[in-house]
């Protein structure tokens, strides 16, 4: 039994983190648009109606399957640290907010390039719904209203953010209309003149000047140097499917390493949700995260080839290292804060598929809105280690390692599954659980999304949703894990969306009740 029905459709399907975004994507499909048009329409709406999770001042990553080439392309729409950055400016800790925490926004170029490469409708039509919601307003959701209050202390410190999210002299409440006229004007300029409006045009001039006036160091040179990367995606064979993941600077290699390790094990002989399966997957996760901590960084600046982590001999050695008892292993800092990110999946009637994730990093990013532009800045710079000797050490012109990653699995030359989730470091853990549920255990997409989840941060502590039976939690503890019980539906484990392409060509979609996502098709 699931809390929501699986959405089934024959002509196209969109599963996103907000119902208005899903509606915008579906309208693009109905209007003759491709999966890319629908994904960009939905992503742009998310950047308007979910400012606590994403913004055009943030980043995006995507995997795109094209039926013409029958190939998967990776889009890395993340930005670099400003070239005028002083790596010693933060001392031993980053501040809580401010323009100094922003990397160059990459989402704008990423969306524009996706439409240019694979779209049919044109950028102006793809951005039209987002422009309308920014100009005319949208009803604030319960989740957004709660997030505004929760981050009120940070938002109050920025004049633009305080006025934007508290236009009536108090924080916007659920059901009230929230308008963003400056953002509407910015989006309109991008719809008219493309990415050049921001990266090399008058809008970029105003943005860079305004950023400088509020303490940031992103300048015109940083903007004009930015490009969307299209690196070769990572992929592995898993149970007869070809699973594609995001290459660095994304940490999508963690998911593929996890799957590569368990591919050599008979998971189907274990009961789904059993202590044995949970333990095995958690210990596998620890190994893949340890490899990330030891090696991962911007491959343009450090010697890191993620494909070495997927080499058969290396994977076999890691498989042998899976512990029979819970292991103690150092992780990269506290991961308890839920990620402020959102994910969407789209498939069109021709079988084109997009798996896309976008983020402003922390809640409301840097909690700083650039005056005159309506652009909420990311705080992605805090994704760097302040140890400049580390592979992911802070440096000018370098991109931080991103938790953002997406998944597409092909059966033969056609897509079989498109899925992903927000959740920072939970992403590659939840995607691991989704992949095993969908592929190894043949679950329906909505069922796989709604199954109880575990989440590991560090050491032997393992967080498990309360819906795991008490007997299972006790058996997990007997294997050496220190079990901490989460709520029934813990947001920290993500907010997944997924689409399955059935053998008859129809689509099945699911959305996570842990957040406010929705799937719809026609």
Catalytic residue annotation: 341
CB 64 within 8 A of CB 118: yes
Q: Evaluate whether 273 touches 452 at the Cβ level (below 8 Å).
A: yes
> Which two structure tokens, joined as six digits, stand for 30?
């109905």
State how far the Cα of 220 lies from the Cα of 83, in Å rounded to an integer: 11
* Dihedral sign computed on CA atoms, order 390, 219, 364, 55: negative
Cβ 53 vs Cβ 46: under 8 Å: yes
Residue 73, beta-bridge partner list:
64
Tell me whether the omega of the peptide bond preceding residue 122 falls within 30 degrees of 0, making it cis: no
Tokens of 7: 């959405």
The three-state DSSP-derived secondary structure of 442-511 is: CCCHHHHHHCCCEEECCCCEEEEECCCCHHHHHHHHHCCCEEEEECCCCHHHCCCEEEEECCCCCEEEEE
If you compute the radius of gyration of the chain from its CA atoms, what whole number of angstroms results? Answer: 21
**188 Cβ contact list (under 8 Å, min separation 6):** 131
């Amino acid at each position: 039994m699931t809390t929501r029905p699986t959405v089934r459709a024959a002509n196209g399907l969109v599963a996103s983190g907000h119902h208005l975004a899903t509606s915008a994507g579906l309208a693009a499909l109905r209007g003759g648009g491709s999966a890319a048009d629908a994904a960009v329409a939905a992503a742009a709406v998310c950047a308007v109606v979910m400012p606590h999770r994403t913004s055009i001042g943030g980043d995006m990553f995507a995997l795109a399957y094209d039926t013409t080439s029958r190939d998967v392309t990776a889009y890395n729409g993340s930005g670099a640290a400003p070239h005028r950055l002083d790596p010693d400016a933060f001392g031993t800790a980053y501040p809580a907010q401010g323009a100094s925490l922003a990397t160059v926004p990459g989402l704008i170029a990423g969306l524009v390039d996706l439409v240019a490469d694979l779209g049919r409708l044109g950028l102006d039509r793809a951005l039209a719904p987002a422009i309308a919601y920014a100009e005319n307003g949208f009803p604030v959701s319960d989740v957004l209203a709660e997030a505004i209050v929760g981050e009120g202390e940070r938002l109050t410190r920025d004049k633009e953010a305080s006025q934007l999210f508290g236009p009536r002299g108090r924080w916007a409440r659920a059901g009230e209309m929230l308008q963003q006229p400056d953002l509407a004007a910015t989006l309109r300029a991008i719809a008219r003149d493309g990415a050049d409006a921001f990266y090399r045009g008058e809008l970029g001039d105003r943005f860079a000047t305004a950023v400088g006036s509020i303490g940031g160091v992103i300048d015109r040179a940083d903007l004009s140097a930015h490009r969307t990367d299209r690196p070769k995606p990572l992929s592995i064979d898993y149970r007869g499917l070809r699973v594609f993941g995001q290459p660095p600077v994304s940490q999508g290699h963690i998911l593929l390493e996890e799957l590569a390790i368990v591919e050599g094990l008979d998971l189907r002989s274990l009961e789904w949700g059993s202590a044995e399966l949970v333990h095995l997957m958690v210990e596998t996760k620890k190994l893949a995260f340890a490899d990330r901590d030891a090696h991962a960084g911007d491959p343009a600046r450090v010697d890191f080839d993620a494909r070495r982590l997927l080499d058969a001999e290396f994977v076999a050695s890691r498989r042998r290292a899976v512990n029979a008892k819970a292991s103690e292993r150092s992780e990269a800092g506290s991961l308890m804060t839920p990620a402020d990110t959102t994910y969407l999946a789209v498939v069109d009637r021709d079988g084109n598929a997009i798996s896309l994730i976008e983020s402003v990093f922390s809640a409301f990013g840097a909690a700083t809105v650039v005056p005159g532009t309506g652009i909420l800045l990311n705080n992605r710079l805090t994704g760097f280690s302040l140890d400049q000797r580390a592979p992911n050490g802070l440096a000018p012109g370098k991109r931080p390692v991103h938790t953002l990653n997406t998944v597409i699995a092909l059966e033969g030359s056609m897509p079989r599954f498109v899925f992903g989730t927000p959740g920072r470091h939970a992403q590659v853990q939840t995607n691991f659980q989704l992949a095993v549920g969908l592929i190894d255990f043949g679950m329906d997409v909505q069922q796989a999304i709604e199954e109880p989840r575990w989440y590991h941060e560090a050491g032997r502590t393992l967080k498990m949703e309360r819906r795991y039976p008490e007997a299972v939690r006790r058996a997990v503890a007997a294997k050496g894990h220190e079990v901490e019980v989460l709520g029934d539906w813990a947001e920290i484990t993500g907010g997944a969306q997924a689409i399955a392409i059935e053998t008859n060509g129809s689509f099945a979609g699911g959305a996570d009740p842990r957040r406010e996502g929705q799937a719809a098709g026609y």
